[in-house]
Structure 1
Amino acid sequence: MTLKRSVLFVINPIAGGKEKRHLHRIIKRELDHSRFHYEFAYTESADHARRLSKSASYLGFDVVAAVGGDGTVNEVARGILELGKEQAAMAIIPFGSGNGLARHLRIPMRPAAAVRLINRLKTTRMDAGLMNGFPFFCVAGAGFDAHISQLFAKNKKRGFSGYIKSALREIRLYQPARYEVKSGGKVIREKAFLVSIANASQYGNNAYIAPGASTSDGLLDVCILQPFPFYRYPEMALRLMTRRIQSSRYMRTVRGKEITVLREAEGPVHLDGEPQHMGNQLDIRVMPSSIAVIVP
C-alpha cells in the first residue's frame, strides 16, 4: 500500500479581498485523495502563516500550500526555510492582489488548476533573497514601491484597484532620493525613483520590473529607475505591462550575488510587497536553491 502524502493548506482569509468559502469544495474535488490527505489552517495575524508552515514542516507534512498573495507566500516560505534543506515543498494557490511569484512560476490563477498541480508533485528548487537578514522570494525594494506598499498596508480595502489608486495619488508628491548601489565591484551613485531587487521577474499582475530575472540562476537583478517626468507615467506603466521597462532610458540594471544599497536616511522598504522599516544601509544577498516549490 502506498503511503499517502500530507498537505497543509495555510489560508489567509483576507488576502486579495477575495471570497474563499468555496475553497474547501475545490480541494475536495480536485486533490487526489488516493495519494494525499490534507488539513486546513487559517491565519489570524501577521506572521501566523510563517509559524504554521514551520510547524507543519517540523511535523513532517510533505507539502505546505500558501493560499493567498505574495505576502502569504513569503511567510509560508520563510517558515519552511527556517528548518533547512530537508523541508516540505511549497505549493501556491493564488488568491492575492498581484500574485507576482505565482505568475512568474506560471502557476495557474484558477484555484482548481493550482490545486491539481499538487497531484503531480513536480518541484523545482528556487533561490531566495535576504535583505538585512529578512528573506524575500519575489521582489524587494526601496523608494516609491516601498512607499506605496506602506500606504497600501494601511488600507482596509484590498485588491489591485486600491494599489493603483494609491500609486496615482502619490506619484506627483513623491520625492526621489539619492542611492549608492554596490555589486560585483561596480558602484552606481545617482538619484532614483525606486531601487528594486528582483529574484522573480514581476511585482504582480504582470507588471514586469525585471523581465529577464530568474529564480534559479543564483543571481538577483538590481533595477534602478531614475526620476522621470510625470507626463511619461503612462508610458512607464505600459513598459512595465509589456516587458519593455528595461529598454527605457530611465532604467539601469545590474546583477549580483551580494549587493549593498546606501540611501540618504532610514525608511520604508518592502519584501514581496509587505512593508518594513530599515536603516539607511541595505545588505542584500542571494540564497541559491533554498526552497522547493511545486510548479507546472
Structure 2
Amino acid sequence: MSSRACVIYNPVAGRGHAARVVESAVRESPDPITLMPTTHPGHAEELAADAVLQGFTRIIAAGGDGTVHEVANGMLRVMPHEAALSVWPLGSGNDYAFATGLLTGWKPEYRYLPRRTELVDVGRITGGRKLRYFVNGMGLGFNAAVTLESRKISFLRGMALYGTAIMRAMIWHWVAPMMRIAFDATIVESPTFGLTINVGQREGAFPLTPKASLTDGLFDCIHTNRLSRIGLMRLSGAMTTGNIPQPHPHVTTHRCQSVEIQASVPVRVHLDGEFFCQPEEGITNLRVETLPGHLRVERFDPPAIG
C-alpha cells in the first residue's frame, strides 16, 4: 500500500505560530504531506475520520495532547484500518509524543529519519451514556482540577505550567470524596484525592508512571487517598523524577486491565488533557478498560551514539 500523509493542526494556535511551524515542516519534508487545518472545536476528530476514509495512511496530529486526543478518537471511530497516527509535538505537555519517542524525533536533527509503526494499547471509558477513547492517560479528582487550572495559564509550558496549576488547584480544589474503585479484582474503598490511569508514562509533563508500556495490555495506575497539602509538597520531588515511594500510606500503585469507579459525588475527569466530564454533568459511575494493540502509531527510536 502506497503511503499518503496528512497533517491536522489548529492554524490559530499560539497566535499563528503552530501554522508557521507546520507549513515550514511540510515544505521541508522529502515526501508530500496534505495540510488539513481545523476551523472549530472537534474539527480535528472529524478531519481524522475523513482522512482514514480517504485512504491516508499516515495521519499527523500537530499540536499538544488535546489535538492528539481528537485525532486519535477520529481514527478510532472508523476502525478497522491500517492508518498510523503520528505526532508533531507543538503543545504544552506533549505527553504522548514523549511516550512514542516523537518528542525526541521532532528535533531538527532527527525529524526526517525513518520511523517504525506499531500497534499500541488504547483506553476506553464509559459513563453517563458517554463513550470516549484515550491514548496516553486519564486523570480524576485533583488531577483533573490541575488540568482545569492549567487552562487559565497562557504564559508557561511543560512542567512549569503544570507545577503552577498544581499550586492553584491546592487552593481551590482540595477535596477527597469517598469512592469504591475496582482495579481488576482489587477493591479499594476510601477517600479519593486523585487517580491516574495511564497508558503512557507521563501526566501533565510529570513522569508519574515511568515503567508504563504502550504495548503490555495494562494500565499503570496511581491512587491517592486523603493527603495533606504538606504531604503533596513532600511528594513533589518524587513526582518530578518518577520515583514515588512505595509503600506509601496515602499513595498506592496498581497495574490492571480495567478500572470501575463508583463515586459518592459527581466527578471531574480528563482524558489526555481534554475533559470527559465535569461535576455539573452528574456522572458518578465510570468503567475504564484497556484495548490492547488497538491503534497503529508511528514511533521513533533515537539512534545510538558512540
| TM-score in terms of structure 2 length | 0.86
Cα distance 1:223–1:114, how it changes in 2: closer, same or farther (>3 A)? farther
Cα distance 1:57–1:17, how it changes in 2: closer, same or farther (>3 A)? same
Q: Which residue of 1 aligns with 2:144?
A: 146
Hey, what's the Cα distance between the residues in 2 that align with 1:224 and 1:108?
A: 27
Indicate if the aligned counterparts of 1:27 and 1:115 stay in contact, CA closer than 8 A: no
Aligned residue among 119, 135, 160 for 1:125? 119
Cα distance 1:230–1:154, how it changes in 2: closer, same or farther (>3 A)? closer
Could you list the runs of 5+ residues in structure 1 that have no partner in the other structure? Answer: none
Q: Which residue of 2 aligns with 1:135?
A: 133
Q: Which residue of 2 aligns with 1:188?
A: 188
Shift of 1:170: 2.2
Hey, what's the Cα distance between the residues in 1 that align with 2:73 and 2:225?
A: 32
1:60-71 to 2 correspondences below 5 Å: 60-71=55-66
Percent sequence identity is 23
Structure 1 window deviating more from structure 2 (93-102 vs 81-90): it is 81-90
Hey, what's the Cα distance between the residues in 2 that align with 1:115 and 1:41?
A: 20
Q: Which residue of 2 aligns with 1:236?
A: 235
Could you list the runs of 5+ residues in structure 2 that have no partner in the other structure? Answer: 301-306
Q: Which residue of 2 aligns with 1:285?
A: 289
1:205-225 deviations in Å (ceiling 9; x for gaps): 3x1222221111111122102
Q: Does 1:245 align with 2:212?
A: no
What SS does structure 2 have at the residue aligned with 1:71? helix
| TM-score in terms of structure 1 length | 0.88
Q: Which residue of 1 aligns with 2:304?
A: none
Structure 1 window deviating more from structure 2 (248-257 vs 261-270): it is 248-257
1:130-187 deviations in Å (ceiling 9; x for gaps): 1112101111021001122234345566734444333212214411222211132211
Hey, what's the Cα distance between the residues in 1 that align with 2:292 and 2:14?
A: 29
Hey, what's the Cα distance between the residues in 2 that align with 1:162 and 1:253?
A: 25
Hey, what's the Cα distance between the residues in 2 that align with 1:233 and 1:84?
A: 41
Shift of 1:246: 5.0
Shift of 1:268: 1.4
In the alignment, residue 61 of structure 1 is paired with which amino acid?
F
Hey, what's the Cα distance between the residues in 2 that align with 1:116 and 1:256?
A: 37
Cα distance 1:18–1:104, how it changes in 2: closer, same or farther (>3 A)? farther
Q: Which residue of 1 aligns with 2:112?
A: 116
Structure 1 window deviating more from structure 2 (166-175 vs 106-115): it is 106-115
Give the aligned length.
287
Q: Which residue of 1 aligns with 2:215?
A: 216
What SS does structure 2 have at the residue aligned with 1:200? coil
Shift of 1:192: 2.1
Shift of 1:233: 3.2
Hey, what's the Cα distance between the residues in 2 that align with 1:48 and 1:105?
A: 24
Q: Which residue of 1 aligns with 2:69?
A: 74
Indicate if the aligned counterparts of 2:147 and 2:165 stay in contact, CA closer than 8 A: no
What is the RMSD computed on CA atoms of the aligned residues? Answer: 2.3
What SS does structure 1 have at the residue aligned with 2:87? strand
Indicate if the aligned counterparts of 2:257 and 2:289 stay in contact, CA closer than 8 A: yes
What SS does structure 2 have at the residue aligned with 1:142? strand
Indicate if the aligned counterparts of 1:27 and 1:112 stay in contact, CA closer than 8 A: no
Shift of 1:115: 4.2
In the alignment, residue 38 of structure 1 is paired with which amino acid?
I
What SS does structure 2 have at the residue aligned with 1:202? coil
Indicate if the aligned counterparts of 1:66 and 1:91 stay in contact, CA closer than 8 A: yes
In the alignment, residue 284 of structure 2 is paired with which amino acid?
N
Indicate if the aligned counterparts of 2:162 and 2:204 stay in contact, CA closer than 8 A: no
1:225-272 deviations in Å (ceiling 9; x for gaps): 223332233332211111112536132122221210111111311011
Aligned residue among 60, 84, 87 for 2:82? 87
Shift of 1:15: 5.1
Cα distance 1:83–1:204, how it changes in 2: closer, same or farther (>3 A)? same
Cα distance 1:280–1:14, how it changes in 2: closer, same or farther (>3 A)? farther
